[in-house]
Amino acid sequence: MKTKIKTTGHAEIDRQHAILHQFADRFQSFCPGNKASSCESCLPEERQHCAQTLAAHLNGILSLLAGHANYEEKLMGLLPSVQSCREHVRKHKAAHAEFAQKLQTLLAQLDDEDPGATSRTLHHAITEWLGEHASRFDEPLLDELGDRI
């Protein structure tokens, strides 16, 4: 099931969000035996393979997220140097860092016995964050930038 993507109206940010959503959607179908609802019937080596695949996939998402944060933070450099903009930049950067840390924590807590559960948690966390982040930070950033971009 594909997740509805919240758009911002900025082509490059929307393209990056779409890529992040595509990666997030892979967490819904990463199980080679299509047993994602439960890993109980999988052999230990199958669960280990899934856990390794999941970790590699999450590392890929973290790399994409870092590139996305870098792009948005360059756009933030175009904001005027007024208190409200400086506050937005501080909070926006903090949101990027906090989410990356949350994903790192989920990676460290990966359940080797039930990687499917971790996969579902990751899918939910990423898709929820992208929608909330776009509304709370990206849209106000783009509104403030106006025709400077």
- Crossing angle of helices 11-26 and 44-76, rounded to 10°: 170
Confidence of residue 33 (pLDDT cuts 50, 70, 90): low
Instruction: Judge contact between 137 and 92, C-beta under 8 A.
Output: yes
- pLDDT tens sequence across 101-126: 999 998 888 888 888 888 889 999 99
pLDDT of residue 19: 92
pLDDT of residue 3: 54
Instruction: Judge contact between 96 and 48, C-beta under 8 A.
Output: no
The structure tokens listed for 42 are 């999988």
pTM here is: 0.82
- pLDDT tens sequence across 53-103: 899 999 999 999 999 999 999 989 888 888 988 898 999 999 999 999 999
3-class state of residue 125 by DSSP: helix
Contacts 24+ apart (CB under 8 A), 96-99: 96/65, 96/69, 96/72, 97/69, 99/65, 99/129, 99/133
pLDDT surpassing 60 at residue 2: no
Phi-psi region of 43 (alpha: psi -120 to 50; beta: other; left: phi over 0): beta
